[in-house]
Structure 1
């Protein structure tokens, strides 16, 4: 009989394309991957891997078995979901990820709420940029990922994923307190044509969005500095080194010497949570989606009550909300 964990290793090799990638995705060593594959080859009596330069590739038999492994593991996921749904208990382990400002602005409230409500559930979280979070869910390395897109630049989702809106997150421009526009009530992007921008890393979704948005306004961006984390960007603004886009979520505390101003054409990013459709019935997934949406409602309510500069980390218990829709009805 084929061993399920060895099939999982083969599936990871097929998805990641390398022993090191499979090891990282499965959170095991490269040696363990090699040992599992050697045992699987003995079980089936055929070579599944062949050398390919410094790496490996799947043989024809390996590709054939990997296709079966993907279907088998999907059926196992469905069986686990059905059993969890039948039992109705929120328990076991849940692996979640979020981009940095969502990890700061949503996870403390949502994950603490999950621990309080469901002590038998073990949540393991990490920070990942949206593209990597989505890839992790597709591969099965993650159960949920909090990701984003922008009002004018949607994030494409692969087939087989379900999403639910967590928060519509307004974004302002952050500028030094001594900036020529700092005393304005609102500004237009065109007024920053000669300013240096502090942006995200080359190739990151948010950087590409900013370049696209500025150029659509006839502005050729002057990129002075890059920083992956919003608080690093704001620190550079405080030093007078440029301006940046400052979404509400996870923004506070603003450093001294930074002013945030709304744009005449309001900017928003859509923060949502994604998971695999074959895990749709798992009570743990449904509970985590609900906790994240409630945390998002808390952030939104705090923003309405206290104005532009509001921390994404909201103290206290989030308000009660209806259980989240799942399946196709959850898409937003």
Structure 2
């Protein structure tokens, strides 16, 4: 009989392209993955990996086995979810990712609530941008993720995932000292066309959205500075280096010389949780979503 953990090791090598990458995902050593694969080769009587330059290549036999492993691992997850649902207890381990402002604005209170109400559940959290967290959930590396998209740019839901809304979040514009529109009650984004901007890094959903939004008002984006952390972005705004979009969720202290002005029409993003369809019956998934929604309702 095929060993499940050995199938998982082969599946990870196929998914991530190397033994070392699979080891990182599985949180084991490369030696441990190699040993699992060697045992799987002996079990199947087939060669599964071949040298390919400095890396490895899956043989035809391995590719066939990986196709079955996809279905097997999915069925195992579904069985685990059904057993947890039958038991009705919120127990076990849940890996949860969130983008930075959600990690700051939602997770602390939600995790505290989960720890109090469900002491048998261990939640492991990671701060991950939605562009990276969605494929990680789809592949099974994360159980759940809090992601976002915007009214004018939706985030396509990967196949096999389900989602549940948490809240709608409004974003304002942060203007540097002396900006000519700083004393306005509201600003249209097109009035800021041509201004320098500060945003998160180029590989994040927020930076992509800002480029898309500015181009939508016929303003070629001038993003002069990029920083992951909102406090860093605000420090750059405070220094007079550009404007920044500032969501209200998880808003940190704003420097006194920075003006926060609402936009007209309002810029709104949807914040929601995603999980694999096979895991939908897990009480831990439902409990985490309920905790996140409860925190959002107090904001």
Classify the TM-score, shorter chain.
Answer: over 0.9
Q: Secondary structure at the match of 1:132?
A: helix
Establish whether residue 94 from structure 1 lines up as the match of residue 94 from structure 2: yes
The answer for the alignment partner of 1:154 in structure 2 is: 154
The answer for the alignment partner of 1:315 in structure 2 is: none
What is the CA deviation profile of residues 63-95 of structure 1, one whole-angstrom value per residue up to 9, with x for unaligned ones? 111111111111111111111011100001111
The answer for the alignment partner of 1:44 in structure 2 is: 44
Structure 1: distance between partners of 2:135 and 2:249: 23
Structure 1: distance between partners of 2:155 and 2:259: 29
Contact persistence 2:194–2:220 (CA under 8 A): no
Contact persistence 1:171–1:245 (CA under 8 A): yes
Structure 2: distance between partners of 1:67 and 1:198: 45
Establish whether residue 193 from structure 1 lines up as the match of residue 193 from structure 2: yes
Contact persistence 2:199–2:233 (CA under 8 A): yes
Establish whether residue 125 from structure 1 lines up as the match of residue 125 from structure 2: yes
The answer for the alignment partner of 1:250 in structure 2 is: 250
The answer for the alignment partner of 1:29 in structure 2 is: 29
The normalised TM-score by structure 1 is 0.88
Q: Secondary structure at the match of 1:251?
A: coil
Q: Secondary structure at the match of 1:8?
A: helix
Contact persistence 1:12–1:139 (CA under 8 A): no
Structure 1: distance between partners of 2:162 and 2:141: 16
Contact persistence 1:163–1:273 (CA under 8 A): yes
The answer for the alignment partner of 2:73 in structure 1 is: 73
List aligned pairs for 1:160-309, cutoff 5 A: 160-299=160-299
Structure 2: distance between partners of 1:61 and 1:111: 44
RMSD of the alignment, in Å? 1.1
What is the CA deviation profile of residues 187-232 of structure 1, one whole-angstrom value per residue up to 9, with x for unaligned ones? 1112212321001222422111111111111111222101122221
1:21 shift after superposition: 2.1
Structure 2: distance between partners of 1:147 and 1:135: 12
Structure 1: distance between partners of 2:256 and 2:56: 53
Gaps of 5+ in 2: none
Contact persistence 2:137–2:276 (CA under 8 A): yes
What is the CA deviation profile of residues 213-257 of structure 1, one whole-angstrom value per residue up to 9, with x for unaligned ones? 111111112221011222211111111111011011111222232
Contact persistence 1:114–1:291 (CA under 8 A): yes
Structure 2: distance between partners of 1:66 and 1:243: 49
Contact persistence 1:231–1:251 (CA under 8 A): no
Structure 1: distance between partners of 2:188 and 2:61: 60
The normalised TM-score by structure 2 is 0.97
The answer for the alignment partner of 1:139 in structure 2 is: 139
1:12 shift after superposition: 1.2
Gaps of 5+ in 1: 300-332
Structure 1: distance between partners of 2:165 and 2:95: 19
| Paired residue total | 299
The answer for the alignment partner of 1:57 in structure 2 is: 57
Deviates more, 1:17-26 or 1:259-268: 17-26
